[in-house]
Amino acid sequence: MGLLVLLGVFMLAMLTGIPIAFALGIAAFAAALMEGLPELIVFQRMVSGMSGFTLLAIPFFVFAGELMMHGGIALRLVRFAETLVGQVRGGLGVVNVLSSMLFGGISGSAVADTSALGSVMIPMMREKGYPDDYSVNVTVTSSIAGIMIPPSHNMILYALAAGGGISIPALFLAGIVPGILMCVILALAAYVIAVREGYPSSKFPGWRLVLISAASALPGFMTAVVIIGGVLSGIFTVTESAAIGAIWALLVTLIIYRSLSWEAFRTSLTQSIRTTSLVMILVGAATAFAYFLALYQVPEKIMELMLSISDSKIMILLMVNIALLILGMFMDMAALILICTPIFLPVVREYGMDPVQFGMVLMMNLGLGLTTPPVGGCLFVGCAVAKVRIESVLKTIWPFYMAILVALLLTTYVPAISLTLPNLFL
């Protein structure tokens, strides 16, 4: 009965339009009252969830990403990608994917990727004669690279939700190959569609211009190198590395590029504070909610349900993927990481999946949810930037969904894709 109250109150709050963080907290309070527990326990769980030292890395990562987004790095990355691969058929589609891969390693956010690169790429592709739906499709789906390729604050949330026993540097390393793999398959899909539809290509500008554009983009791209290098070398903790990365991003945009205006700095700071506040409130509420999920033995019950359907590892992992894909269509990514990790991680571990590998499967599943209706943040941002209707985009986006699903299945059933780099360097 208590579980029904917990889930029922949560769903009712969501349906009435209450923000998800508050819906989680209200549901936790309702469960506490149902069980006769003191309300103080909900506050204790919320505070304990928000007091982890590693969480201090999140505001620094977010601030670094905002600085790079508003400081001109996106445009430089696009120019570099265009000089490198713009000459192939439908080259701007491939450029879009490559730019997302490069920018994802800096922003760590799919929505930031869509907003920053979409503002540059979509008008550029429209000017070159590409249809809006194709431009939005490539921009939106490739933005998932911001979640997979480190540094990603979502991986910190996953490590927290898993109980703190998973190495964040291992998660950062594990995201590189799946992220690149997904981008390669997306670029292939973009190229095939461009060839079939006869989209234009540009002339190769020469290696001299490629080197010039690479040199221009390098200082900004070094933000990711500084962060990841500091963590892997042991010089910095994750939190210290995030702070150093934010300082580096500020110096690059302010001194080297000289493109960070006072207005852009204020916008970056404001957005960082807003995003961090939302994440921290969500972490606290989701921690309290997850406490009651564990109290009601939800992971064990889900495992029993899955075993009643099949005991095959292939089928169990497929069912987990399907469940995550469906949930990702209806809920915010950060909330799902905090809720689904304690539910599904014990299930997949029972079948021999490494927690680091599951983190990559979780990220790609929920990242795909950001590109699907009805709650796809990246999809809405991409359509808003292009000023097109979502219905027109959804008619032609399915080849890109298929590309991501191929990458997802490979990441799920081939552990080496996620685990080779962590095993090699750690």
Tell me the pLDDT of the chain (426 aa) as tens digits. Answer: 778 888 889 889 888 888 888 888 899 999 898 888 888 888 888 888 888 777 888 888 888 878 877 777 777 877 888 787 767 776 788 888 888 887 766 666 677 778 777 877 888 888 888 888 898 999 899 888 878 888 778 888 899 888 877 888 899 999 999 999 999 999 999 989 988 888 877 777 778 888 888 888 888 878 778 888 887 777 888 888 888 888 988 888 888 888 888 888 998 889 888 888 888 888 888 888 888 888 888 777 887 888 788 888 899 999 999 999 988 887 778 888 988 898 899 889 988 899 999 999 999 999 898 888 877 778 888 888 888 888 888 888 999 999 999 999 999 999 999 999 999 887
Q: Give the pair of three-digit tokens for residue 190.
A: 């973009």
C-alpha to C-alpha distance for 37 and 199, rounded to whole angstroms: 63
72: left (phi over 0), alpha (psi -120 to 50) or beta: left
Could you give the angle at the alpha carbon of 241 between the alpha carbons of 371 and 95, nearest 5°? Answer: 40
Report the Cα 160 to chain-centroid distance in Å.
16
C-alpha to C-alpha distance for 103 and 117, rounded to whole angstroms: 8
Q: Which residue in this structure is represented by tokens 């027109």?
A: 392
Q: Which residue in this structure is represented by tokens 């590029």?
A: 257
- Rounded to the nearest 5 percent, the helix, strand and coil shares of the chain are 80, 0, 20
> Pick from 194, 186, 175, 157: which is nearest to 62 by CA?
157
pLDDT at 106: 61
pLDDT at 353: 93
C-alpha to C-alpha distance for 208 and 108, rounded to whole angstroms: 30
DSSP character string of 21-47: HHHHHHHHHHHHHHHT--THHHHHHHH
pLDDT at 284: 87
> Pick from 201, 221, 256, 225: which is nearest to 82 by CA?
201
What's the count of helices (H) and strands (E) in the chain, helices before strands? 23, 0
Q: Please, are residues 115 and 105 in contact by the beta-carbon 8 Å criterion?
A: no
Q: Which residue in this structure is represented by tokens 């995003």?
A: 275
Query: 382 φ, ψ to 5°?
Result: -60, -45
Residue 369 identity (one-letter amino acid): G
Report the Cα 316 to chain-centroid distance in Å.
24
C-alpha to C-alpha distance for 142 and 185, rounded to whole angstroms: 10
Q: pTM score, two decimals?
A: 0.86
Q: What residue spans define the domains of the chain? A: 2-425
Peptide bond before residue 151 is cis, with ω within 30 degrees of 0? yes
pLDDT at 107: 60
C-alpha to C-alpha distance for 223 and 64, rounded to whole angstroms: 8
Which pLDDT tens digit goes with each residue over 322-336?
999 988 887 778 888
**Count of positions (residues) in the chain:** 426
> Pick from 82, 97, 121: which is nearest to 191 by CA?
97
C-alpha to C-alpha distance for 46 and 63, rounded to whole angstroms: 24
DSSP character string of 181-248: HHHHHHHHHHHHHHHHHT--------HHHHHHHHHHHHHHHHHHHHHHHHHHHTSS-HHHHHHHHHHH
Alpha-carbon torsion, ordered 298, 301, 306, 308, to 10 deg: -170
Burial class (CB in 10 A: 0-12, 13-18, 19+), 267: middle
C-alpha to C-alpha distance for 27 and 194, rounded to whole angstroms: 48
